Amino acid sequence: MNIGQAAQASGVSAKMIRYYESIGLIPKTVRTEAGYRVYSDHDVHTLRFIRRSRDLGFSVEQIADLVSLWQDRERASKDVKTIALEHVSVLEHKIRELQEMASTLTHLARNCHGDTRPHCPILEELANDEAGAVHLKPDAKFGALGKAPARQA
């Protein structure tokens, strides 16, 4: 099947399939004489594996490890579990950071009248030189918010 069909069947966009090939996450495919990439059901299966890994927030690097463990019949389940649990702890760290941000903001907003008058504790706090300047410093592993790549629906 062509890349478009493989994309539809796997839920990974054609763009991303080419990208994954370019970075070596998936091997180069067979091509038709005209240069079209050709995919098998097996390839689609691998792409689904990759997509489900992405959906769980694994990085491409981690997915490469997972794929290679998946294809290794001699793997130790411990190696997989280690990757998963490391990722969980990263996720939990990130969750805590976001929760701190949200709770700080919620607290500030609760004290803001939100009317037409200018007095606003939110701005006051942001402008406060004394208060926890380093209090909510996000971890290096994550940007604060940042728009990020859209996923296909």
Residues 10-39 within binding reach of DNA (CB under 7 A): 13-16, 18-19, 31-37
Q: Which H or E element spans position 31?
A: strand 30-31
For the bound state, the minimum distance from the C-beta of residue 1 to DNA, rounded and expressed in Å, comes to 8
Contact status: 151 vs DNA (CB under 7 A): yes
Whichever of 31 and 84 has its CB closer to a second copy, that residue is 84
Q: Taking the alpha carbons of 47, 51, 53, 58 in that order, is the dihedral positive or negative? A: positive
Most distant pair of Cα atoms in the chain: their distance: 71
Q: Which residues within the stretch 2-41 sit at the binding site for a second copy (CB under 8 A)?
A: 11
For the bound state, the minimum distance from the C-beta of residue 111 to a second copy, rounded and expressed in Å, comes to 10
* 25-45 exposure pattern, b = at least 16 Cβ within 10 A, e = fewer: bbeeeeeeeeeebebeeebbe
Residue 37 phi/psi, 5° resolution?
-75, 140
Q: Give the one entry of a second copy, DNA, none that residue 42 binds, where binding means its C-beta sits below a cut-off of 5 to 8 angstroms depending on kind.
A: none
For the bound state, the minimum distance from the C-beta of residue 7 to DNA, rounded and expressed in Å, comes to 7
For the bound state, the minimum distance from the C-beta of residue 79 to a second copy, rounded and expressed in Å, comes to 9
Q: Taking the alpha carbons of 1, 31, 66, 89 in that order, is the dihedral positive or negative? A: negative
Residue ranges in contact with DNA by CB under 7 A: 2-5, 13-16, 18-19, 31-37, 54, 59-61, 143-152
